[in-house]
Structure 1
Amino acid sequence: STCPSPFLAFKMDMDHSCDFSESDVEHEDIPPDPALQEICGSEVNTEFSKDMSEVTTVSTMTSFEKVSQGINHVEGGWAKMINADDTEVTARYKKKYLKDEHCQHTVMETASVMEHCNQCKDAEDCFPDLKDEKGVQEMEYEPSARIISMLRDPNKVKRTATSLSWHPLDYHKLAVAYSCLEFQRAPKNMSFDSYIWNIEICNKPEMTLKPISPLVCLEYNHKDTHILIGGSYNGQIGYWDTRSGSQPVQMSATEHSHKDPVYKVIWLQTKIGTETFSASTDGQVLFWDIRNMNEPTKRLVLDPSKKGNRENALGAVSMEFENSMVRAKFLVGTEQGLVVSCNRKLETTDDPIVCMYSGHHGPIYALQRNPFFPKNFLTVADWTARIWSEDIKESSIISSKYHMTYLLDGCWSPVRPSVFFTVKMDGTLDVWDILFKPKDPILNLKVCDEALYSIRVRDKDSLVCCGSQLGTVRLLKMSPDLCTLQKNEKALVSEMFERETKREKILEGQYRERHQMKHSSSVEDEGGKDDMEELLAYTEREFFETVEAEKKKIKDEEKERRSGMFCFQV
């Protein structure tokens, strides 16, 4: 129903006078919602209204004038007796004010608040902006992983999956090398075969590789993806062409090969794509051309004395060469816990060993440069994983905590510069994010009960494959936050590496200074010791000379006394 109610409206004319008039306004009665009435349990009455007024305003445009004026800020400014234009007076006043305890306390409190805000902002910049419907930024960093499939060794006698290599183009193919690394403990009926798997068909391998000796390492050629190079347990090098069958196309001659198992082979990214080099525990790095495998093209002996003596050579376990780097250097991880930086151009240098990095207590099983920052590289050995800078040789810039079990392999994430993976002897996979937790892993996953010997990450995404001691390769799918580049991550990691490198340089300089001071003080102590010994010897000689002189004097006096007594008696 509608009910007319009296209502007043006023108007302002050009002369700013008010004109009141009376008009009628109709109000509508809105009945309650039945659903709300059932919930409330009582009748909702809306039959009430207020008298409203309608206003019509008409005004004339008047001109106005803008005036700019200043204001004198007294609070927080200079004192009344201080002339702000006098630099000498203001400098003395600032110096006096900064010495005030209240001022120092206030500055310290403000600095702590600013530092906390900056840290919070840096932590927020690590992650992309995720906004909900209201525009609030939220990010939950909860890394996780799950096993999606397994590739089992089809042989009855199980062997260790010692090496893994993803196909450069076909991301469904994975080459796995199988071998028994326990010296002289391999069963007689153990198979020598290695396999190429299609991860979508896990029941049986797609292709079999039949070497003369079990393969310890295996790598795809990025130039010609049909070719694989493999290093055998007996020290020979061979390559396969998947178009030619399971037998090796060519093997290296035994007399010119390694004398120990070949633990690492790397392809050189040249125009031809046929050059490779290998590393073994016999202390040699051999360069090969697969077009002629009779003998190596170059030979490098890892002798720290740089004399080329194999008896003093360091056994090579891992190796790293970044093909995108202009510098012709490669890194070799040794059994003795040293990383040796070598020059690849042996024919143009008389000093192939550039420098050495020391810091581990056991064999370095994994060695890899950061794909985004090649000057920094990762090493996995003994109970720790360490990140190094080429500019610091005495110590690593970042190191993990010491674990209870051995670390056997590790690698960087191809999509995130702050993430790397490690596997341990207890069958555990650890995922690290140095921006989030430099000392502890952000994800610890128990993959199996036996030891994990190898790990590789697919370049396309973060699909991780882990090879175990019993020859089972497990494929793990990482959560999206582990395989997505975060906001400002490159800049933050670069800043972190530079900061830690600078810190280690300062510590290294202080260590050298203390060492020189100790050395100089020891030399001074030795010189002072010699002077003291000479003084003691001189004093001893003078003492005994004085004693002898006194004895002689006493004897002479005794003789004179006796002669005088004899004369008196006569």
Structure 2
Amino acid sequence: MEIVYVYQKKRKDFGRQPTFGDRTAVLGLNILSDPTLMRNYVERNPCQAEVQSVPEKSEHEVNTESFVLSNRGILHTQGGWPKDVDATDVEHTIRYRKKVEKDDEYIRAVQSMGNAMEHCIKQNNAIDIYEEYFADGPDAISVETPSAKSLNVYRDPNPLKRAATYVSWYPDDGHKIAVAYSMLQFQSMPANMSYDSYIWDVENPNTPDQTLTPPSPLVSIKYNPKDPHVLVGGCYNGLISFWDTRKGSFPVDTSAVDKSHRDPVYNLSWVQSKSGSEFFSVSSDGQVLWWDIRKLAEPTESLLLDPEKNGQIVGGTVVDYETTMPTKFMVGGENGSVFMCNKKAKNPSEKITHIYPGHHGPVLALQRNPFFLKNFLTVGDWKAQIWAEDIRSPIMSTRYAPSYLTDACWSPTRPSVFFTSKLDGTVDVWDYLFKQNDPTLTVQVCNSPIHSIKIQEHGRHIATTARDGSTTILELSDGLTRLQNNEKSIFSQMLEREAKREKTLESSAREKRLKAAQKRPNSAAVKLTGAALDDLIKQAEDDFFSFIDDGSGTAREKAMARARDEVKAQ
């Protein structure tokens, strides 16, 4: 049965305010009972019902819809031009602008809006809410205890762990790091070892941001300071490759085998140039090669590290180039010496201008002080040394450490602070303004030898790479990053004082050598022969046997008897 009741209203009554009132009850519909419907039902007697006093519960499962996120960029271009005006054509826009400026309506609009704009500008200039009241006051001396805390650890994602040999910070903001991975032990490289190196996002230590696939494991890697998308890497087999991160994981170009190094490329450095595409590399084969990424087939220039000009090549381990000194660069050698070189020398024999002999082992770190460019820092054994360009001996040195030093770098924000890493997995922070005998802070970064240590441009974070394949970022306290009161002048006076002292000692030692040389006979001009030579040999033998004699006076006879026995035995 269908019951329908239609309400009708005229169109003019739509939206009219309803008025309600009382009315009598009206029977709309009366449905009478139908006894025949009782045949459809059966009476249940008795009727039983079970009831439990427990609240009813229900279970529901909901799976939210997953969304795929993507980054989108917006390029805002200049708009508001008429359709017949090309906004990219400078001359066209200038002509249209001059045409509008001559219009009387434009002049009236500018005059009417000028008063309102002038009122707003005066309101903004009335009170400077960003005014810094104590900007000219001296900075408070930091009394905070020097400290460094570990932020993130980035581990080699490959199952076969390799050593993290080098790290390079992303230019400017430093939100990424490029890490080179390799096996530096000779002939210990497994056959199935991965060659990949990685670029890590500082905020994401779980997965690499990008993979770099070189032709051979990378030993060194460097970001281009002018173009952060470009990196160059030095391979274990001596090749040089460069990447553009916008073009994928494989290198854009690689140097030819016959024109490259013959040993691992241990260090790279970008050169100040107009194109921003030039750099040079150094290897233990004794070559320093200049390259241009626009033509990487062969080097543009080369230098052999032959300081004595006798054909004995010295292997290079590290190179330093300062952009403010475009013709000078320094190279650290395997013999512990530092070579000052001149790129613009007329012939190759004049390119090495000074030699600074100072370490017992290969020079592993070499860097100029960013505040005082005539002073540089080196590491090559169990100590770090600070040098001056015009002095052949170090002006300041740290004490000998119980563990071998592997790398070092200056702080870019404080002239008197530098950092050193060691084989025992520790990093020492030296603040020469505070004390010179011991490090200000020692941090145990890991239990594996540290290969490389590099600091961010802002001086707040340090990245270290270790032999177990881990890369650790440390955050320094404010006291180690903020420039102290008069620190620059005090450290400058300290360097000048030590340089003057070292010059005085050098001059006095030179005078003593000259006096001693004048007293000695000219042995080079007079060659002893005959009886004079025999007397000299006999005197040397007497001095030797008297030195080793045990007091019995029979040292010579025992030596002669031992010599006769050996002759008979032969």
Residue 160 of structure 1 and its aligned partner are, at CA, apart by 1.1
Which letter does structure 1 place at the counterpart of 2:516?
Answer: K
For 1:226 and 1:139, the matched residues in 2 are separated by 38
CA displacement 1:260-303 (0-9 Å, x = unmatched):
00001111121101111100000000111111111111110000
CA displacement 1:120-172 (0-9 Å, x = unmatched):
xxxxxxxx764xxxxxxx75352111111111110111111111111113421
CA displacement 1:329-386 (0-9 Å, x = unmatched):
1100011100011111245665111010011000111100000011000001110100
Q: Secondary structure at the match of 2:184?
A: coil
What residue number does 1:190 align with?
A: 193
CA contact (8 A) 1:238 1:248 kept: yes
Q: Pairwise mapping of residues 147-158 of structure 1 onto structure 2 (< 5 A)?
A: 147-158=150-161
CA displacement 1:67-110 (0-9 Å, x = unmatched):
xxxxxxxxxxxxxxxxxxxxxxxxxxxxxxxxxxxxxxxxxxxx
Q: Secondary structure at the match of 1:523?
A: coil
Q: Secondary structure at the match of 2:386?
A: strand
What residue number does 2:502 align with?
A: 504
1:214 equivalent among 214, 217, 221: 217
What residue number does 1:18 align with?
A: none
Which letter does structure 2 place at the counterpart of 1:352?
Answer: K
CA contact (8 A) 1:219 1:229 kept: yes
What residue number does 2:172 align with?
A: 169
For 2:527 and 2:448, the matched residues in 1 are separated by 61
Counting matched residue pairs gives 395
For 1:296 and 1:380, the matched residues in 2 are separated by 29
C-alpha distance 461-529 of structure 1, shift in aligned 2 (>3 A): closer
What residue number does 2:439 align with?
A: 441
1:226 equivalent among 229, 237, 241: 229
CA RMSD of aligned residues (A): 2.2
**Residue 316 (structure 1) aligned with residue 316 (structure 2):** yes
Q: Pairwise mapping of residues 524-543 of structure 1 onto structure 2 (< 5 A)?
A: none
CA contact (8 A) 1:398 1:438 kept: no
Which letter does structure 2 place at the counterpart of 1:464?
Answer: I
Which letter does structure 1 place at the counterpart of 2:448?
Answer: E
Residue 218 of structure 1 and its aligned partner are, at CA, apart by 0.3
CA contact (8 A) 2:142 2:484 kept: no
What residue number does 2:35 align with?
A: none
What residue number does 1:298 align with?
A: 301
What residue number does 1:429 align with?
A: 427
C-alpha distance 224-526 of structure 1, shift in aligned 2 (>3 A): closer
Residue 476 of structure 1 and its aligned partner are, at CA, apart by 0.7
For 1:391 and 1:415, the matched residues in 2 are separated by 25
CA contact (8 A) 2:341 2:351 kept: yes
**Residue 468 (structure 1) aligned with residue 466 (structure 2):** yes
Residue 504 of structure 1 and its aligned partner are, at CA, apart by 0.3
Using the aligned pairs only, state the percent identity.
51
For 2:299 and 2:527, the matched residues in 1 are separated by 58
Q: Pairwise mapping of residues 38-49 of structure 1 onto structure 2 (< 5 A)?
A: none
2:511 equivalent among 486, 494, 513: 513
**Residue 282 (structure 1) aligned with residue 281 (structure 2):** no
For 1:206 and 1:524, the matched residues in 2 are separated by 69
Residue 306 of structure 1 and its aligned partner are, at CA, apart by 3.1
Which letter does structure 1 place at the counterpart of 2:282?
Answer: A
CA contact (8 A) 2:338 2:355 kept: yes
Which letter does structure 2 place at the counterpart of 1:399?
Answer: S
CA contact (8 A) 1:413 1:462 kept: no
Which letter does structure 2 place at the counterpart of 1:265?
Answer: L
Q: Pairwise mapping of residues 138-153 of structure 1 onto structure 2 (< 5 A)?
A: 140=143, 142-153=145-156
C-alpha distance 519-190 of structure 1, shift in aligned 2 (>3 A): same
For 2:210 and 2:524, the matched residues in 1 are separated by 72
Q: Pairwise mapping of residues 351-390 of structure 1 onto structure 2 (< 5 A)?
A: 351-390=350-389
CA displacement 1:148-207 (0-9 Å, x = unmatched):
111111011111111111111342111111111101111222111000000101110000
Residue 528 of structure 1 and its aligned partner are, at CA, apart by 12
Which stretches of structure 1, 4 residues or longer, exceed 4 Å deviation after superposition? 346-350, 524-530
CA displacement 1:382-401 (0-9 Å, x = unmatched):
101000000101x1000001
CA displacement 1:455-484 (0-9 Å, x = unmatched):
111112320111111111111111100000
CA displacement 1:207-237 (0-9 Å, x = unmatched):
0000000000000011111100110000000
Which letter does structure 1 place at the counterpart of 2:361?
Answer: G
Residue 526 of structure 1 and its aligned partner are, at CA, apart by 11
What residue number does 2:476 align with?
A: 478
CA contact (8 A) 1:143 1:443 kept: yes
Which letter does structure 2 place at the counterpart of 1:162?
Answer: T
State TM-score, norm by structure 2. Answer: 0.67
Any stretches of 5+ residues in structure 2 without a counterpart?
A: 1-137, 536-570
For 2:179 and 2:525, the matched residues in 1 are separated by 65
What residue number does 2:491 align with?
A: 493
